[in-house]
Amino acid sequence: MAQDNLFHQPALADEVADLMREVVPGVIIDATFGGGGHSRRLIAEFGADVEIIAIDRDPEAVANAVALGITAVQGNFGDLARIVAPLIEGPPSGILFDFGVSSRQLDTPKRGFSYHREGPLDMRMGPDARLTAAEIVNEWPIPDLAGVLRRYGEEPMADRIAAAIAAARPIETTSQLSTVIAEAMPAARRRAGHPARRVFQALRIAVNDELTAVTAGLDQAIQLLQSGGRVVAISYHSLEDRIVKTRFAAGATGCVCPPGLPVCGCGRAAELRLLTRKPIRARSEEVAANRRARSAKLRAAEKVAA
């Protein structure tokens, strides 16, 4: 099997390339390398004018990058500044985040990410994760489990599902968990999309502490970028997108003094220029070819001179 087919087809790759065009030549950090689809698109578009540095928590993704001749480091993008410090001489011109789980991970049963495939309750994106989904499902008290489902899955039936999970313990596989969730749901809910989707999302986010990494990674990316550099972030659910939207909006906010003051007293200056007032969504043609692109939302910002 060709290397390109081993990992997922990237969402919004053309849009990423268009946004990065203004900062090439330069170093672009692919902070969530995965299968490298975005990096390959950038290399195909810009050739030797772009130098890619890849980061991923998953050892398989790092090995894929190395096989493609790309400088790659295994690590969590929440530690972005520390990871790239020994790899770059000056500030990068672009940083890309493609959040969430890759299709390769979803399609590998032993990783335990998919409610469609039988596998162990793992869900770790990399060996650095301190928890597995099995520990949360089988050991956490019902209120804590329900809180995770509500907070990270935005699951309206969190209490009911958590109680059903606790009653069915021990649960060892993804299919067992999926069945328990489905049986806890009323019939109408089972007809409205897969009933386990929100629960699996919540468990994955909790296992990998994803939202903490999103917040930290964005902050560090903005600090690292050169003036005129660009940060591009692709999200797949509302929690990620909300963090990106809020951080970019805050960075693009300048003076907050009351109108009419002759001189600014707050000293606040914008550090970003928004490149996307609303998120960019995949075109219908792309969604038809790549279902994962259906939920993708891309936001981008440019760092302004201090």
Q: Each residue of 97-143: pLDDT tens digit?
A: 999 888 788 888 899 999 988 999 999 999 999 999 999 999 999 99
- 24 pLDDT band, cuts 50/70/90, is very high
Q: Each residue of 29-66: pLDDT tens digit?
A: 999 999 999 999 999 999 999 999 999 999 999 999 99
- Contacts by 238-242, CB closer than 8 A, 24 or more apart: 238/154, 239/152, 239/154, 239/205, 239/211, 240/99, 240/100, 240/210, 240/211, 240/214, 241/279, 241/297, 241/299
Q: Each residue of 224-247: pLDDT tens digit?
A: 999 999 999 999 999 999 999 999
The pLDDT score that the predictor gives to residue 306 is 58
**Domains present along the chain, CATH in parentheses:** 3-104+210-303 (3.40.50.150), 130-208 (1.10.150.170)
Question: CB–CB of 259/290 below 8 Å?
Answer: no
Backbone φ and ψ of 65, nearest 5°? -65, -45
Burial of 5 (0-12, 13-18, 19+ CB in 10 A): exposed
The pLDDT score that the predictor gives to residue 4 is 41
The pLDDT score that the predictor gives to residue 291 is 87
The contacts of residue 10 (CB under 8 Å, 6+ apart) are 16, 34, 35, 37, 38, 41, 98
pLDDT at 253 over 80: yes
pTM for this prediction: 0.92
Question: Which residue type is seen at 39?
Answer: S
Question: Which residue type is seen at 303?
Answer: K
